[in-house]
Structure 1
Amino acid sequence: MTKSSVLGYPRIGADREWKKALEAFWSGKLEENELHARLQEIRLDHLRKQQAKGIDLIPVNDFSYYDHILDTAVMFGIVPKRFAYTGGAVPLSVYYGIARGTKDAAASEMTKWFNTNYHYIVPELNDASPELTENKPLIAYLEAKEKLGIEGKPVIVGPLTFLKLSKGYDASETDAWIDQLLPLYTQVLQELADAGVQWVQIDEPVLVTKLNDADLQRLNKIYTAFASAVPGLNILLQTYFESVENYNEIISLPVQGIGLDFVHGLEGNLQSIQTSGFPADKVLGAGIIDGRGIWKASLQDKLTLLGTLTSLVTTERLVVQSSCSLLHVPVTTAREAKLAAELKDALAFADEKLDEIVILTKAIRSTDADITAKIKDAEQKLQALQSSGDRNRKAVQEAIASIRVQEPNRSRAFAERHVAQQQKWQLPLFPTTTIGSFPQSTEVRKARQQWRKNELSNEQYSSFIRDQIDSWINIQEEIGIDVLVHGEFERTDMVEFFGEKLAGFAFTQYGWVQSYGSRCVKPPVIFGDVEFVGEMTVEETKYAQSKTDRPVKGMLTGPITIMNWSFVRDDIERETIAYQLAYALRQEVEALEKAGIGMIQVDEPAVREGLPLKENKQANYLDWAVKAFRITTCTVQETTQIHTHMCYCEFHDMIDSIEAMDADVISIETSRSHGELIHSFEENTYELGIGLGVYDIHSPRVPSVEEMSNMIDRALRVLDPKLFWINPDCGLKTRGQEETVASLKNMVDATRIARAKYNATPVLS
């Protein structure tokens, strides 16, 4: 009989109870035993909910005290030596130390979980001596069984994925590490089998990426070893986020089930299964409900897909499940009272996705009038939104149809623009600037909250913002910065701010998702055609410019970053959404220029985050991402200087695309990986204006003049001094005023030293 399952459930709770418990513990307001009790109740509540909904295979060990990759590392005693770990079960002080750092030891690196907006803690193998410290999947299984009578499906990250996501070892040591980890994984599985576990989900998302022959041999070695050691245990080898590479090799592995993504990997996985078939002795975990998107599924379309799959796999060997863990979506739409009914009815968060999975599973098992009615109701609600005016803005659609067949180019090439801009601005060598935001004090946040609650009038709030701008314009001038910013005191978030001012966006009240650790974000929802409604940034920027003779940059978030940091509609291509955003932002760029703002920064820190996992899809994405940026910026005059900002990325494999954006100046977050980026420029040329961040804004420490001078000197070994700018790594919103001012003073002093060294014009006074 067809079963239902999910790959994981959100940890944070409908009211972010999880986040609040963690932060209370970190601040000393909650004892460790109280933390364990609170988290257990949250965990059990999640299991009860899945049980009540009718999910057959309920995941356990998908819950975490911080991050599931960190959990895997500490389960095997892989703890950096700087934390003075001596063996046995890893204490919470060490666990959270790895994640967050301590006064004596730096935190481990954090990076993106494949192409999602979730971040995991990168395991550091180095000289670790792995041992099984505690069997976390077993503990989770026994808890669910004893407390709730649930026969859970333990979830564990697979050995190959774990190694591929770790650092601190050489590629030549991979096989040796597998040899060390295999006995530990085997012990975990043996203990699970001894406890009566029926199915174990082993996550190997790395299988959707390109693997070499050696990796395929390792994969076969791992799962052959498991099959030999624990022959009675059913293993579901789970993949997600894309279609698997090496399909034939994977379905030949000695496991009892294979989980495939039929949402984000639909085309590739379906083609593979239709061409090569699916083993008659294996279960197919069919991930047909989107674990990353927030829209109701077309259940009729999903039934059609399931019909195709059941022509290839018997219904007894089919599991209907989410495409990936529901970690990536909010908990429930139930409390979203402020959304328009038409929109709310078309949304499905985690709880609603459980319902969809159960409905589809029941529809396969038997024909039922109630199930048929639910499927029809879902179609009607989707159609209501699809037919709405929000998704049918003819003027926008016609504009985008025209734009997408045009080549958005500036009126002149960069070399000519650079000369014209220098004549206009008369900037010194190594111009200094900042990335955009300045410290948002308690006072700033309080005023914004009061304004949102109508405790401050628009006039009072506007006056308050102007006072902040006045103060920081004066501070920047006193420090000696060449190109100023207004400080962005009116903005809570670089995406939300613009979404609130554009048509086609909606905002949830409780749509939180985990980004990393206890950090939760509430992404905007792009549900309709995006349209420019009116000026968004002109008032504050124009006011700031009126207070100084130095240029003030207009500050915008770019189209790709807004898209990648939002939940986007799934009825049109992402490329079209990007162009709609670009067209709207272009109108704001033109409004800024008309208001006399001659330097405009369009930030794109998230361009790389949207890069597809499949290499054959990456070039197309980068082409339209670059085009979207150029649509935003191409209509300005040659003397208007376009800036952009990017967070650090593997620059060497994107340098052509970044240069193709044709920004006059790009600033890049680099201080933590300065050496790697300098190496990129040794191998690649870059002929536009560029500023490599000379100090790390993520730390409260004030870097010395000497330290920043060394950064500048290293950069100038490979970059043209005439095109080089000096700036911090990123925005300064999260920093305090005292440290910010001190750091910027040191930055300007380091600039003076560099100018003297190159016999340059002194800094403006």
Structure 2
Amino acid sequence: MTKLLPTSTAGSLPKPSWLAEPEKLWSPWKLEGDELVAAKHDALRVTLAEQEGAGIDIVSDGEQTRQHFVTTFIEHLDGVDFNRRETVRIRDRYDASVPSVVGPVSRRKPVFVEDAKFLRAQTDCPIKWALPGPMTMIDTLHDAHYGSREKLAWEFATILNEEARELEAAGVDIVQFDEPAFNVFFEEVNDWGVACLEKAIEGLACQTAVHICYGYGIKANTDWKKTLGSEWRQYEQTFPKLQASNIDLVSLECHNSHVPMDLIELLRGKKVMVGAIDVANTAVETPEEVAATLRKALQFVDADKLYPCTNCGMTPLSRAVARGKLAALAAGAELVRRELPASMAAE
């Protein structure tokens, strides 16, 4: 990207009501077979048009072809039994019924590559594609085979690297790994989590990103946030290791959070996707509110490395609210862009 302050979303966008139940995570598909395939492509076209119409610079599929940002990828892997389900604690926050790893995990064929090719054919904009990170994958499963979170994470990192390389070949400009687990399991992140992430990006020439937030705007996450006190300093535990890593961009939550903005300084030198849109609130931000968040961030990240973004995905929101928030993000970024020195804006 040569444009200053290029905007993007962190991940998911609301699905049309004819594809799945709106404003709901894990919503089942309303169609089957060839009709579902066509409906997913139509939804992808719609969400792409909404991003471009709002002025978003780096577009994505909005996860229109996925039921869930983690399990849809896992569904396509060997070694995981979705009929053998166990209840586990997800990110030490809430219980969920999840599939079990029952044998060696492997990827028989590409998972998202055809969808990425379809998106690439629809737009000339830079595109970003999100994959689940290794640590978040192991936290969304019951392991009945490996007996080691770290060993399973390394297996997933190898599989993710295979997928990421093929996404790059399909024309993806930024491959993003979603790692909300990085905000919970700090010792593991520093011991082997970041190393697994670097395995997942090995050999990639495109840009790479890691997205770390405080979760969707669902009750389990908002209740957890209420326990975190007046300052959320979780990023302080992992940013130094990420700053020293090979990851190009780090995506973080800022707007309407209690994250001290100066923690961004720990990433100095990296490109930072600053969350300037609150996805846990249905109120649509004003462009000035977005701009205020970005101005604060500019104290700790250089303008040529600041990428305005949303805090997290927006699947649980209505399409109208999401459209408003996308437009506010683009307009707020433009306000700040105009304030930058003319020599910088011309680069």
Among 169, 185, 209, the residue aligned to 1:643: 209
CA contact (8 A) 2:85 2:99 kept: no
- Equivalent residue runs for 1:120-269 within 5 Å: none
Alpha-carbon separation, structure 2, partners of 1:564 and 1:510: 14
Residue aligned with 1:554, SS: strand
- Aligned match of 2:317: 735
Partner of residue 271, structure 2: 689
Do residues 573 (structure 1) and 148 (structure 2) align? yes
- Does the Cα contact within 8 Å between 1:564 and 1:609 map onto a contact in 2? no
1:598 is matched with 173
Q: 1:726 aligns with which of 308, 311, 326?
A: 308
Larger radius of gyration, structure 1 or 2?
A: 1
Displacement, 1:510? 6.3
Task: Kindly state the Cα deviation for residue 529 of structure 1 after the two structures are TM-superposed.
Answer: 1.5
Q: Deviations over 1:229-254 (max 9, x none)?
A: xxxxxxxxxxxxxxxxxxxxxxxxxx
The answer to whether the 8 A contact 1:671-1:694 is kept is yes
- 2:217 counterpart residue number: none
- Using the alignment, how far apart are the partners of 1:573 and 1:509 within structure 2? 19
Q: Deviations over 1:182-224 (max 9, x none)?
A: xxxxxxxxxxxxxxxxxxxxxxxxxxxxxxxxxxxxxxxxxxx
CA contact (8 A) 2:182 2:238 kept: no
Q: Against the structure 1 CA distance between its residues 754 and 450, is the aligned structure 2 distance closer, same or farther, given a 3 Å change threshold?
A: closer
Q: 1:754 aligns with which of 318, 336, 339?
A: 336
TM-score, L = length of structure 1: 0.40
Equivalent position SS for 1:497: helix
CA distance in 2 between partners of 1:729 and 1:621 (Å): 21
Higher relative contact order (CA 8 A, sep 6+): 2
Instruction: Note the C-alpha offset of 1:697.
Output: 0.4
Partner Cα separation in structure 1 for residue 183 and residue 52 of structure 2: 34
Aligned to 1:553: 128
Query: 1:348-387 counterparts in 2 under 5 A?
Result: none
Residue 327 of structure 2, aligned match among 726, 738, 745:
745
Identity score, percent: 24
Whole-Å Cα distance in 2 between the matches of residues 624 and 513 of structure 1?
22
Structure 1 residue runs without a partner (length 5+): 1-424, 612-617
Shift of 1:703: 1.1
Q: 1:724 to 1:698 in 2, by over 3 A?
A: same
User: Residues 633 and 685 (structure 1 numbering): CA distance in 2 closer, same or farther, change over 3 Å?
Assistant: closer
* Corresponding position of 1:484: 59
Shift of 1:507: 1.6
Greater fraction of residues in strand:
2
| Structure 1 residues 405-416: aligned runs within 5 Å | none
**For the Cα contact (< 8 Å) 1:603–1:646, is it kept in 2?**
yes
> 3-state SS of the aligned residue for 2:263?
helix
Q: Deviations over 1:268-292 (max 9, x none)?
A: xxxxxxxxxxxxxxxxxxxxxxxxx
Cα distance change on mapping 1:681 and 1:665 into 2, 3 Å: closer
Distance across 1 between alignment mates of 2:53 and 2:40: 20
Contact 1:508–1:522 (Cα < 8 Å) also in 2: no
Of 577, 588, 602, 2:163 maps to 588
> Residue 609 of structure 1: CA displacement?
2.4
Q: Secondary structure at the match of 2:260?
A: helix
**2:243 corresponds to:** 659
1:527 aligns with 2:102: yes
TM-score w.r.t. length of structure 2: 0.85
Contact 2:135/2:153 (<8 A) preserved = yes
Residue 493 of structure 1 aligns with an amino acid whose one-letter code is H
- Report how many aligned residue pairs link the two structures: 320
Deviation string 1:84-129 (CA, Å, 9 cap, x unpaired) is xxxxxxxxxxxxxxxxxxxxxxxxxxxxxxxxxxxxxxxxxxxxxx
Q: Equivalent residue for 2:228?
A: none
Deviation at 1:661, TM superposition (A): 3.6
- Following superposition, the deviation at residue 681 of structure 1 comes to 3.5
The 2-side partners of 1:430 and 1:449 are apart by 36
- In structure 1, the residue matched to 2:283 is 701
Which of 167, 183, 200 is residue 632 of structure 1 equivalent to?
Answer: 200
Find 2:263's aligned residue among 680, 692, 695: 680
**1:433 Cα offset (Å):** 0.5
For residue 479 of structure 1, report the CA deviation from its aligned partner.
1.2
CA contact (8 A) 1:651 1:677 kept: no
Structure 2 counterpart of 1:503? 78
Superposition misfits of 4+ residues, deviation over 3 angstroms: 446-451, 508-516, 569-572, 759-762
Task: Determine if contact 1:537/1:554 at 8 Å carries over to the other structure.
Answer: no
Aligned Cα RMSD in Å?
A: 2.4
* Contact 1:667–1:692 (Cα < 8 Å) also in 2: yes
